[in-house]
Structure 1
Amino acid sequence: MLRNQHGISVYTVLSIILFIALIFVLAIPNFYNLDKEQNVEDCINNMKEIWVATTDYLRDTNADFDGDLSVLRSTRKATDNGNYYLGSKSYCPETSRQKDEYIVYGKYVAETIGTDVKHNFGVIVYCPNLDKYAKHFIPKIFYENMEPTQLQNYMIDDLDYIHTETGSNGNKKKEMVEKYIEIWKTDPDAFAKRKADTTALRAILFPEKFGLIPQGN
């Protein structure tokens, strides 16, 4: 039997190497899953930061926000020691090299109640890779301590409904979020409709769930 100068056989050395290699191969999936879960957490944290920055911006400007994050990074707050609304750029960790910005939409609605004007604003932030990573979605629990306006509460509940209905189907989830944003962009009565009927906007997104037939079918 072949042995090295210390008396250990070559076969023993090979067995040890193979054993270590086997452990490494078996451990790879666990490390991979840990990285995936960390990426989910990091992506959601990025979106939370953007949501807070955009909400602050809407609160100060009383105007819609079209999603240009460079505005938040270059505009200083009137308070908070003149800091910028948003710091450095952040990207989804799954595809950070592509440098795709997060998609953001902010809606402002002034509601007249008697002689008073109630300022409502709502913000939607979603991952550009939502179609591939359905878990990259801000959970409803995040908003609980954020003192959201009535409009934001509508958006929170509707987005949670979309999240529940689409489950792990990232393509469908992204499609529905985009359609939902389009409703707020194009329908000037969206706020009034949603206020009058909890299911008004959801029925547009999921007509089959509410016994409706999509136009053109």
Structure 2
Amino acid sequence: MLRNQNGISVYTVLSIILFIALVFILAVPNFFNLDKEKNLEDCINNMKQIWVATTDYMRDTNADFNGDLSLLIKTPKKDDPKNTYLSSNLYCPETSHQKKEYLVYGKYVAEQIGTEIKHNYGIIILCPNLAQYPKHIIEKGFYENMEPTQLQNYMSEDIDYIDSETGLNGAKKVELINKYIEIWKTDPDAFAKRKANTTALRAILFPEKFGITE
């Protein structure tokens, strides 16, 4: 058996090297956060938690939500003052060390139906890394299981449409969703337009697809 001057066999050295390499291979994904599927799942779960917290907050305030997540963390729940709407800050695991917050926009619309007022809440949440990771988006099916208001249905359907049209083009996806949010922020008739015509807001984002020319 081959041995070096210290009496250690070549096979022993190779075994040690292989063992170290194996440990390194197993450790790298955790150390550098390379498990993309788990990161995707964790990110979407984070956004779902934020959506639930924001929805609860808006139901208690009946007002738009400006995206300040610290409000959800420090504000006690109306029906459970011992707890806040959100227990702690949540970050996308892809860049959790950078502490980049999720973008959250909440729209409140009071709809007069006869003598009654129907409260509508619609919330859009964007992963801060959506441009680089275009799959980091809440699927439409999630909202369908959460007893959404009509406004939330409109938003989730339109976001799903944007998602399908942009595919893996994350930068375009972010651009159009931000433009979509801006419509809700600036157009007081956005709800009425969307209620009257399913494609009303989509046509603003995709004018050529809907045959609109300037």
Tell me the TM-score normalized by structure 2.
0.88
> Runs of 4+ in structure 1 displaced over 6 angstroms?
21-34
Maintained 8 Å contact 2:140/2:156: yes
Q: Which residue of 1 aligns with 2:79?
A: 79
Q: Which residue of 1 aligns with 2:134?
A: 134
Q: Which residue of 2 aligns with 1:172?
A: 172
Q: Which residue of 2 aligns with 1:111?
A: 111
3-state SS in 1 of match to 2:133: coil
Q: Which residue of 2 aligns with 1:57?
A: 57
Q: Which residue of 2 aligns with 1:183?
A: 183
Shift in CA distance, 114/130, structure 1 to aligned 2, threshold 3 Å: same
Shift in CA distance, 15/48, structure 1 to aligned 2, threshold 3 Å: same
What is the CA–CA distance in structure 2 between the aligned matches of 1:109 and 1:145, rounded to whole Å? 21
- Could you tell which deviates more after superposition, 74-83 or 189-198? 74-83
Q: Which residue of 2 aligns with 1:155?
A: 155
Shift in CA distance, 123/16, structure 1 to aligned 2, threshold 3 Å: same
**Structure 1 unaligned spans of 5+:** none
Please tell me the residue identity of whatever aligns with 2:98: Q
Please tell me the residue identity of whatever aligns with 2:151: L
The Cα shift of 1:34 comes to 6.5
Q: Does 1:202 align with 2:202?
A: yes
Q: Which residue of 2 aligns with 1:120?
A: 120
Please tell me the residue identity of whatever aligns with 1:160: D
What RMSD over aligned residues (CA atoms) do the two structures have, in Å? 2.6
How many residue pairs match? The answer is: 213
Q: Which residue of 1 aligns with 2:100?
A: 100
What is the CA–CA distance in structure 2 between the aligned matches of 1:90 and 1:27, rounded to whole Å? 26
What is the CA–CA distance in structure 1 between the aligned matches of 2:121 and 2:96, rounded to whole Å? 30
- Could you tell which deviates more after superposition, 25-34 or 184-193? 25-34
Cα deviation, 1:73-104, whole Å, max 9, x if unaligned, reads 11111103542111111111111111111100
**Structure 2 unaligned spans of 5+:** none
Shift in CA distance, 84/27, structure 1 to aligned 2, threshold 3 Å: closer
What is the CA–CA distance in structure 2 between the aligned matches of 1:148 and 1:174, rounded to whole Å? 23
What is the CA–CA distance in structure 1 between the aligned matches of 2:208 and 2:59, rounded to whole Å? 36
Shift in CA distance, 33/72, structure 1 to aligned 2, threshold 3 Å: closer
